[in-house]
Amino acid sequence: MAQAFIGLGSNLGDGQNNLLAAWHRLQEEAGRAVALSPPFLTEPVGMESDQLFTNAVGLLETRLTPQDLLDKMMGVEAELGRDRQKGKDRTVDLDLLYYDDLVINTASLILPHPEIANRRFVLAPLAAVAPLHIHPVLRLTSLEMLQRLARQTGVQQITWEKT
Protein backbone atom coordinates (compact mmCIF):
# COMPACT_ATOMS: atom_id res chain seq x y z
CA MET A 1 0.00 0.00 0.00
CA ALA A 2 1.19 3.47 -0.85
CA GLN A 3 0.95 6.41 1.51
CA ALA A 4 -0.58 9.56 0.05
CA PHE A 5 -0.78 12.93 1.77
CA ILE A 6 -3.76 14.95 0.60
CA GLY A 7 -4.43 18.65 1.21
CA LEU A 8 -8.06 19.55 1.79
CA GLY A 9 -9.54 23.05 1.65
CA SER A 10 -12.94 24.73 1.63
CA ASN A 11 -14.14 28.33 1.75
CA LEU A 12 -17.82 27.92 0.89
CA GLY A 13 -20.47 26.76 3.30
CA ASP A 14 -19.51 24.78 6.39
CA GLY A 15 -15.79 24.23 5.82
CA GLN A 16 -15.31 21.56 8.48
CA ASN A 17 -18.26 19.50 7.26
CA ASN A 18 -17.17 19.92 3.63
CA LEU A 19 -13.70 18.61 4.48
CA LEU A 20 -15.11 15.69 6.46
CA ALA A 21 -17.49 14.80 3.61
CA ALA A 22 -14.58 14.85 1.14
CA TRP A 23 -12.40 12.78 3.50
CA HIS A 24 -15.12 10.15 3.95
CA ARG A 25 -15.69 9.95 0.18
CA LEU A 26 -11.95 9.56 -0.40
CA GLN A 27 -11.89 6.64 2.02
CA GLU A 28 -14.78 5.01 0.17
CA GLU A 29 -13.20 5.59 -3.25
CA ALA A 30 -9.47 5.39 -2.69
CA GLY A 31 -8.21 3.75 0.47
CA ARG A 32 -7.85 3.66 4.23
CA ALA A 33 -7.55 6.78 6.35
CA VAL A 34 -4.50 6.83 8.59
CA ALA A 35 -4.67 10.39 9.97
CA LEU A 36 -6.44 13.70 9.48
CA SER A 37 -5.09 16.96 10.89
CA PRO A 38 -7.19 19.37 12.88
CA PRO A 39 -8.81 22.07 10.74
CA PHE A 40 -6.94 25.35 10.26
CA LEU A 41 -8.46 28.72 9.31
CA THR A 42 -6.42 30.55 6.67
CA GLU A 43 -6.59 33.56 4.38
CA PRO A 44 -7.17 32.84 0.67
CA VAL A 45 -3.95 32.60 -1.37
CA GLY A 46 -3.81 33.32 -5.09
CA MET A 47 -7.43 34.44 -5.35
CA GLU A 48 -9.71 37.31 -4.38
CA SER A 49 -12.24 36.27 -1.76
CA ASP A 50 -13.73 37.54 1.48
CA GLN A 51 -14.17 33.94 2.69
CA LEU A 52 -11.58 32.30 4.94
CA PHE A 53 -10.50 28.77 4.10
CA THR A 54 -10.73 25.77 6.35
CA ASN A 55 -7.70 23.58 5.58
CA ALA A 56 -6.51 20.16 6.69
CA VAL A 57 -4.14 17.42 5.55
CA GLY A 58 -4.95 13.75 5.56
CA LEU A 59 -2.81 10.64 5.21
CA LEU A 60 -4.40 7.87 3.18
CA GLU A 61 -3.14 4.37 2.41
CA THR A 62 -4.10 3.39 -1.12
CA ARG A 63 -3.60 0.74 -3.77
CA LEU A 64 -4.42 3.22 -6.54
CA THR A 65 -1.72 4.61 -8.80
CA PRO A 66 -0.95 8.31 -8.31
CA GLN A 67 -2.89 9.24 -11.48
CA ASP A 68 -5.88 7.08 -10.51
CA LEU A 69 -5.88 8.64 -7.04
CA LEU A 70 -5.80 12.13 -8.55
CA ASP A 71 -8.71 11.19 -10.82
CA LYS A 72 -10.72 9.94 -7.81
CA MET A 73 -9.91 13.17 -5.94
CA MET A 74 -11.19 15.26 -8.83
CA GLY A 75 -14.33 13.12 -8.93
CA VAL A 76 -14.95 13.78 -5.23
CA GLU A 77 -14.44 17.52 -5.81
CA ALA A 78 -17.01 17.49 -8.61
CA GLU A 79 -19.46 15.40 -6.57
CA LEU A 80 -19.24 17.94 -3.73
CA GLY A 81 -19.83 20.91 -6.02
CA ARG A 82 -16.34 22.18 -6.86
CA ASP A 83 -16.30 24.83 -9.59
CA ARG A 84 -12.87 24.45 -11.23
CA GLN A 85 -12.92 27.93 -12.75
CA LYS A 86 -9.74 29.71 -11.62
CA GLY A 87 -10.21 32.16 -8.74
CA LYS A 88 -13.62 30.82 -7.68
CA ASP A 89 -14.53 30.07 -4.08
CA ARG A 90 -14.73 26.32 -3.47
CA THR A 91 -16.83 23.91 -1.52
CA VAL A 92 -13.84 21.59 -1.55
CA ASP A 93 -10.34 21.62 -3.02
CA LEU A 94 -8.19 18.49 -2.89
CA ASP A 95 -4.46 18.45 -3.67
CA LEU A 96 -2.22 15.40 -3.88
CA LEU A 97 0.82 16.53 -1.91
CA TYR A 98 2.93 13.36 -1.71
CA TYR A 99 2.57 9.79 -2.92
CA ASP A 100 5.17 7.76 -1.07
CA ASP A 101 8.48 9.38 -2.02
CA LEU A 102 7.74 9.52 -5.73
CA VAL A 103 8.98 12.40 -7.82
CA ILE A 104 6.80 12.79 -10.94
CA ASN A 105 6.56 15.60 -13.46
CA THR A 106 3.99 15.02 -16.20
CA ALA A 107 1.42 17.24 -17.89
CA SER A 108 -1.30 16.01 -15.53
CA LEU A 109 0.59 15.39 -12.28
CA ILE A 110 3.54 16.87 -10.42
CA LEU A 111 4.75 15.17 -7.25
CA PRO A 112 5.57 16.25 -4.71
CA HIS A 113 3.15 19.14 -5.06
CA PRO A 114 5.34 22.04 -6.23
CA GLU A 115 4.03 24.61 -3.73
CA ILE A 116 4.23 22.65 -0.46
CA ALA A 117 7.18 24.61 0.93
CA ASN A 118 5.55 27.98 0.15
CA ARG A 119 2.10 27.45 1.63
CA ARG A 120 1.46 27.82 5.33
CA PHE A 121 -2.08 26.50 4.80
CA VAL A 122 -0.50 23.20 3.68
CA LEU A 123 2.52 23.09 6.00
CA ALA A 124 0.70 23.77 9.28
CA PRO A 125 -1.73 20.82 8.96
CA LEU A 126 0.97 18.67 7.33
CA ALA A 127 3.26 19.31 10.30
CA ALA A 128 0.38 18.42 12.65
CA VAL A 129 -0.04 15.03 10.94
CA ALA A 130 3.56 14.21 10.00
CA PRO A 131 6.09 16.67 11.44
CA LEU A 132 9.05 14.45 10.57
CA HIS A 133 7.96 13.46 7.06
CA ILE A 134 10.81 14.33 4.67
CA HIS A 135 10.18 16.10 1.37
CA PRO A 136 11.84 13.81 -1.21
CA VAL A 137 13.38 16.69 -3.19
CA LEU A 138 14.11 19.39 -0.58
CA ARG A 139 15.18 16.83 2.05
CA LEU A 140 13.50 18.90 4.78
CA THR A 141 10.86 17.72 7.24
CA SER A 142 7.38 19.23 7.29
CA LEU A 143 8.24 21.01 10.52
CA GLU A 144 11.52 22.37 9.12
CA MET A 145 9.71 23.73 6.05
CA LEU A 146 7.06 25.35 8.26
CA GLN A 147 9.72 26.94 10.48
CA ARG A 148 11.67 28.15 7.44
CA LEU A 149 8.54 29.71 5.92
CA ALA A 150 7.73 31.40 9.23
CA ARG A 151 11.22 32.93 9.32
CA GLN A 152 10.96 34.08 5.69
CA THR A 153 7.54 35.70 6.10
CA GLY A 154 7.79 36.81 9.71
CA VAL A 155 4.41 35.20 10.40
CA GLN A 156 4.56 32.82 13.33
CA GLN A 157 0.89 32.49 14.32
CA ILE A 158 -1.17 29.61 13.01
CA THR A 159 -4.87 29.39 13.90
CA TRP A 160 -6.58 26.08 14.52
CA GLU A 161 -10.30 26.16 13.92
CA LYS A 162 -12.22 25.27 17.05
CA THR A 163 -14.24 22.09 16.62
Q: Is residue 152 part of a domain?
A: no
Q: Is residue 28 part of a domain?
A: yes
Q: Is residue 161 part of a domain?
A: no
Burial profile 35-70: b = 16 or more Cβ within 10 angstroms, e = fewer: ebbebbbbebeeeeeeebbbbbbbbbebebebeebb
Q: Is residue 149 part of a domain?
A: no
What does the pLDDT read at residue 16? 95
Please tell me the distance from the alpha carbon of residue 133 to that of residue 53, in angstroms, as a whole number. Answer: 24
Q: How many structural domains are present in the chain?
A: 1
Please tell me the distance from the alpha carbon of residue 57 to that of residue 118, in angstroms, as a whole number. Answer: 15
Residue 163 has pLDDT above 50, yes or no: no
pTM, two decimal places: 0.92
Q: Is residue 125 part of a domain?
A: no
Range of the domain at 74: 2-114
Q: Is residue 142 part of a domain?
A: no
CATH number, domain containing residue 43: 3.30.70.560
Q: Is residue 140 part of a domain?
A: no
| Cβ-contact 129, 5 below 8 angstroms | yes
pLDDT digits (tens, 9 = 90+) for 49-59: 888 999 999 99
Report CA Rg, the chain: 15
Q: Is residue 159 part of a domain?
A: no
